């Protein structure tokens, strides 16, 4: 790892942490109630190690194959550093659930019943428990994944009832054309409804590089920030 890359990541991280503090202060919230997930998709495992050295405890990955490669490389590259918690945040194909269940600590993108059954079976086989969020599509256009707001409650019930899975809350990617503040307020309302039925489901996963302030203002507990820390993503391999 070059000192230059390390300095770049330290700067990006410091800037984002400052933004979170400012947004929390503006919202009258404790910044400790906001978990930063650094989205490392498309970046090498050496960047993950550098981030761990900078105090990052949570990383996000969106493609199973890439995440599997990084996690299997981790023990050798990381030289005994504890592995950060891994959040799977990408669209999940049914045939990848067994693999994801082996390394992910949290899955943010559950958006159909079939995934609930498969992840539950995968967790059982791997002897693990998975923290799960239901992904909601806030404009009811599911092209980027997510159930409609109407379907969120029943899918949340299914997750809560599934062996090996712990329902933690809801996740959303804001619709491209919409005002993120408004989208995140809508997500907040859906989260509150789910929490009334499942008091343990306290998480709201929302907020990316461009809109983390609006997400914090709406009550997000988990931010997924990539490019503001790592720089723009290299072209897909």
- Rounded to a whole number of angstroms, the minimum distance from the CB of residue 145 to ligand PLP is 8
- Rounded to a whole number of angstroms, the minimum distance from the CB of residue 59 to ligand PLP is 11
* C-alpha–C-alpha distance, residues 47 and 1, integer Å: 8
Which range, of 47-55, 73-81, 97-105, 206-214, touches ligand PLP by CB under 6 A?
206-214
Per-residue contact string for residues 125-164; x = within reach of ligand PLP by CB under 6 A: ----------------------------------------
Q: Examine residue 62 and tell whether it contacts ligand PLP (CB under 6 A).
A: yes
Among 94, 114, 227, 234, binds ligand PLP (CB under 6 A): 227
Q: Do 187 and 136 contact (CB within 8 A), yes or no?
A: yes
- Rounded to a whole number of angstroms, the minimum distance from the CB of residue 105 to ligand PLP is 16
Q: Which is nearer to ligand PLP, 62 or 151 (CB)?
A: 62
Q: Examine residue 63 and tell whether it contacts ligand PLP (CB under 6 A).
A: no
User: By beta-carbon distance, which residue lies closest to ligand PLP?
Assistant: 226
* C-alpha–C-alpha distance, residues 236 and 8, integer Å: 21
Which range, of 24-32, 43-51, 74-82, 203-211, touches ligand PLP by CB under 6 A?
203-211
Q: Examine residue 221 and tell whether it contacts ligand PLP (CB under 6 A).
A: no
Q: Examine residue 89 and tell whether it contacts ligand PLP (CB under 6 A).
A: yes
Binding site for ligand PLP (CB under 6 A): 39, 41, 62, 89-90, 173, 208-210, 224-228
């Amino acid at each position: 790892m070059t000192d230059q890359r390390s300095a770049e990541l330290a700067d990006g991280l410091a800037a984002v942490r400052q933004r979170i503090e400012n947004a929390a202060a503006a919202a009258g919230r404790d910044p400790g109630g906001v978990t930063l997930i650094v989205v490392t998709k498309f970046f090498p495992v050496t960047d993950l190690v550098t981030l761990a050295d900078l105090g990052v405890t949570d990383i996000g990955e969106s493609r199973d194959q890439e995440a599997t490669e990084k996690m299997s490389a981790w023990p050798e590259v990381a030289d005994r550093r504890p592995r950060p918690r891994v959040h799977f945040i990408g669209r999940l194909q049914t045939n990848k659930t067994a693999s994801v269940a082996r390394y992910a600590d949290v899955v943010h993108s559950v958006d159909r019943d079939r995934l609930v059954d498969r992840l539950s079976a995968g967790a059982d086989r791997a002897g693990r428990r998975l923290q799960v969020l239901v992904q909601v599509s806030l404009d009811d256009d599911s092209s980027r994944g997510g159930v409609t707001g109407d379907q969120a409650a029943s899918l949340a019930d299914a997750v809560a009832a599934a062996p090996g899975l712990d329902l933690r809350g809801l996740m959303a990617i804001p619709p491209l054309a919409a005002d993120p503040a408004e989208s995140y307020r809508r997500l907040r309302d859906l989260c509150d409804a789910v929490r009334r039925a499942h008091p343990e489901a306290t998480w709201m996963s929302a907020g990316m590089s461009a809109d983390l302030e609006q997400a914090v203002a709406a009550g997000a507990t988990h931010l997924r920030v990539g490019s503001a820390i790592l720089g723009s993503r290299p072209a897909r391999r």
